[in-house]
Structure 1
Amino acid sequence: MLYPLASLEADKLEAIKSLEKDIGSPVVALAGVEANTAPLPDDQLKKLQELEAELGVVLVAVRSN
């Protein structure tokens, strides 16, 4: 399962903004997406991790359907 930022309708966004005011902290909305990760050999995993470090992001290799 992956969790990208959720796309929200205006009413849901307003509810989250209200909660943020109540709790005094920003809230991030994520949406669950079914995905199967791809098994990678050690050398390919290392390449993925190196690019993650270079780009400053999280990368996930997924199985194609």
Structure 2
Amino acid sequence: MLYSLATLETDKLNAIQNLEKEIGGPVVALAGVEAETAALPKDQLKKLQDLESQLGVVLVAVKPN
């Protein structure tokens, strides 16, 4: 299972914002995404890691459906 930022309805967003005020800091809402990670050969893994560094993001290779 992987996680991405959740899409929230107004009432859920309001509840999270209220919690943030109570605890004095930000809260991030994530939603589960059904996906199985792919095992990459070393050369392909290196390319993925290089692109992560270049873009400043986390990349995850997943198995195609």
Q: What interval of TM-score do these two structures reach, taking the shorter chain for normalisation?
A: over 0.9
Runs of 4+ more than 6 Å apart: none
Question: What is the rounded CA distance, in whole Å, between the counterparts of 2:28 and 2:39 in structure 1?
Answer: 29
Q: Which runs of 5+ in 1 are unaligned?
A: none
Question: What is the rounded CA distance, in whole Å, between the counterparts of 2:9 and 2:45 in structure 1?
Answer: 37
TM-score normalised to the size of structure 1?
A: 0.97
User: Cα RMSD (Å) of the superposition?
Assistant: 0.5
Going by fraction, where is strand more abundant, 1 or 2?
2
5 Å-filtered alignment, 1:46-61, equals 46-61=46-61
Name 1:41's counterpart in structure 2: 41
Question: What is the rounded CA distance, in whole Å, between the counterparts of 2:24 and 2:3 in structure 1?
Answer: 24
TM-score normalised to the size of structure 2?
A: 0.97
Q: How many residues align?
A: 65
Work out the percentage of aligned pairs sharing the same amino acid: 75
Deviations 1:1-60 (A, max 9, x none): 111000000000000000000000010000011100111000000000000000000001
